[in-house]
Amino acid sequence: MGPVLGAPGPHRPARRGGARAGQLDPARAGHRHGDRHARIGAGVVTAEAGLGGHLLSRGASLQTSLPLQDLVEERRHVTVVFADLSGSTEIASRLDPEETREILRSCLTTLARRIQRFGGTVDKYIGDAVMAVFGAPVSHEDDAERALRAALAMREAITELNADLMREHRVTFTLRIGVNEGEVVSGVIAGDVQAAYTVVGDTVNTAQRLEAAAHPGEIVVGASARHAGEAFDFVELAPIHVKGKQRALTAFRLVGAKAERPQRGLARHRLSSTLVGRDAELAALVTRIEGLQQGDGGMVGLIGEAGSGKSRLLAELKRAAATARVTWLEGRCFTLGETTRYAPFVEAFSHMADIEDSDDDARRWSKLEARVRAVVRDDVDDMLPYLAVLVGIQPPESHAARLQLMSGEAMGRQIFRATRRFLAALARARPLVFAFEDLHWADATTVALVQHVLRATGNAPFLMIGTSRPDPASPAAELRRHARGTPRYAEMRLDPLTHEQAATLIGNLLAVDDLPRQIRDLTIERAEGNPLYVEEIIRSLIESGLVRREESTGRWRAVSDTTAIVLPDTIGGLILARLDRLDEPAKRVLRHAAVIGRSFRVKLLRALEPGEDLDRILSRLATDEILVERRRSPDAELMFKHILIQETVYGSILRRQRRELHAQVARAIEATYGDRLEEFVGALASHYARAEHWEEALAYLERAGDQAGSVAADAEAVERYRDAMSAYETTGRAPPLQIASLERKLGEALFRRGEHVQAIMSLRRALARLDASLPSSRGATVRAIVRQIFVQAGHLAAPWSLPAPRSAVDATVQERSRGYQLLAWIDYYSSDSLRQLLVTLLSLNDGERTGHLPGINQGSLGVGIVCDVLGLKRLASRYHRRNVRIAEAAADPIAIGYAYFGLAYHDQGIGRWDDGQVHWGRGADAFWGTRDLRRWGVSSWGVALMKWRRGDTAGTREIAERMLQVADEGADNVLRGWGLFVLGRAQWSTGDDEGALASLRESAAILRPVPDRQILLRSLGDTGFCLLRKGDLIGATAALEEAAEVIAAHQVRGYHALPLIWLLEAYLEHLERASVSERGVWAPKVTTALRAVERQARIDAEALPGMHRLRGRLHWLEGRRARAEAEWRRSIEWGERLRFVPEIAWTFAETGWWLSSREHLDRAEALFDGMGWPGELERSNAKRMSAHRS
What is the residue type of 293? Q
Beta strand 121-126 pairing with 174-190: unpaired
| Torsion angle, alpha carbons of 859, 863, 866, 871, to 10 | -160
Report which of residues 387 and 573 the model is more confident about.
387
For 638-670, the pLDDT digits (tens) are 888 877 788 888 888 888 889 999 999 999 999
Distance CA 25, CA 170 (A): 30
For 482-524, the pLDDT digits (tens) are 888 777 888 888 888 887 888 777 777 665 555 667 777 777 7
Q: What is the pLDDT of residue 262?
A: 40
Distance CA 328, CA 167 (A): 55
For 1126-1177, the pLDDT digits (tens) are 999 999 999 999 999 999 999 999 999 899 899 999 999 999 989 988 877 7
- Per the CB < 8 A criterion, the answer to whether 168 and 59 are in contact is no
% pLDDT > 90, the chain:
28
Distance CA 40, CA 872 (A): 60
- Per the CB < 8 A criterion, the answer to whether 216 and 159 are in contact is no
Q: Give the three-state DSSP class for 324.
A: coil
- Per the CB < 8 A criterion, the answer to whether 320 and 354 are in contact is no
- Which band of pLDDT confidence, cut at 50, 70 and 90, is reported for residue 1084? very high
- Per the CB < 8 A criterion, the answer to whether 848 and 798 are in contact is no
For 275-331, the pLDDT digits (tens) are 777 888 888 898 898 888 888 888 999 888 877 888 888 888 888 887 778 899 999
- Per the CB < 8 A criterion, the answer to whether 804 and 856 are in contact is no
% pLDDT > 70, the chain:
84
Q: What is the pLDDT of residue 1099?
A: 85
pTM over 0.85: no
Q: What is the pLDDT of residue 164?
A: 80
- If we measure between CA atoms, which residue out of 815, 732, 802 comes closest to residue 771? 815
What is the residue type of 1136? E
Kindly tell me if the per-residue pLDDT of 131 is higher than 70.
yes
Beta strand 219-222 pairing with 174-190: parallel
For 356-371, the pLDDT digits (tens) are 877 788 888 889 988 9
For residue 591, what are the contacts with CB-CB under 8 A and spacing of at least 6? Answer: 649, 652, 653, 657, 661
Distance CA 1100, CA 172 (A): 46
What are the E-state strand segments in 72-119? Answer: 74-86
The alpha-helical segments, DSSP class H, found in 990-1120 are 993-1007, 1013-1030, 1033-1049, 1057-1073, 1079-1097, 1103-1117
Side-by-side strand order, sheet with 462-468:
327-332, 432-437, 462-468, 298-303, 489-493
**Which residue(s) pair with 640 in the sheet?**
627
Distance CA 136, CA 796 (A): 65
**Other Cβ atoms closer than 10 A to 181:** 26
